[in-house]
Amino acid sequence: MVNDPLAQALSVILNSQKAGKDQCMIRPSSKIAEKVLEIMNQHHYIGAFEQMKGNKGNMGKVALTGSINSCGAIKPRYSIRKSEFEKFEKRYLPAKDFGLLIISTPKGIMTHKEAKIKGLGGVLLAFCY
């Protein structure tokens, strides 16, 4: 049993990327991990993400594009106000306007840039650059 499917999914993606593979399998897959992977796909960090049913639960197949330098889950999942984004950008991202913080807000899971525009706070889930 996996305690944090999102952390495991991002770890598998990063390790496969470093090993030079062009795809990887994620087991088990969760709804939060699915949404995070959709956001990473929209920003061209990964290729297509395909959800599959297995006999031991859901699995995901991720196509890798080779554009991830680092990604990971943020533990503990800090609560963040709309005025505190810069502090966590400095902590988790290497430079200004480079990379993504993925945040769970009351309006859904989105990047920190979208949350700034909409004036929302939330809970930090992951980073990617």
pLDDT tens digit sequence for 71-114:
999 999 999 998 999 999 999 999 988 999 999 999 999 999 99
Average model confidence (pLDDT) for the chain? 92
| Whole-number percent of the chain with pLDDT over 90 | 81
In the chain, residues under CATH classification 3.30.1370.30 are 5-64
For residue 1, name the pLDDT band (cuts at 50, 70, 90). low
pLDDT number for residue 90: 94
How far is it, in rounded angstroms, from Cα 5 to Cα 71? 14
pLDDT number for residue 110: 96
Q: How far is CA 77 from CA 17, 54, 68, 113, 126, in A?
A: 25, 29, 22, 18, 9
Q: Which of 48-52, 75-79, 117-121 has the lowest average pLDDT?
A: 48-52
In the chain, residues under CATH classification 3.30.1490.10 are 71-128
> What CATH fold (topology level) applies to the domain 71-128?
Dna Ligase; domain 1 (3.30.1490)
pLDDT number for residue 18: 94
Residue 52 has pLDDT above 70, yes or no: yes
Q: How far is CA 66 from CA 10, 57, 89, 115, 129, in A?
A: 14, 28, 23, 27, 12
pLDDT number for residue 54: 76
The sign of the CA dihedral 53, 64, 6, 4 is positive
pLDDT number for residue 29: 83
- Decide if domain 5-64 falls under CATH 3.30.70.270: no
Structure tokens at 124: 């930090």
* Average pLDDT of span 26-38: 91
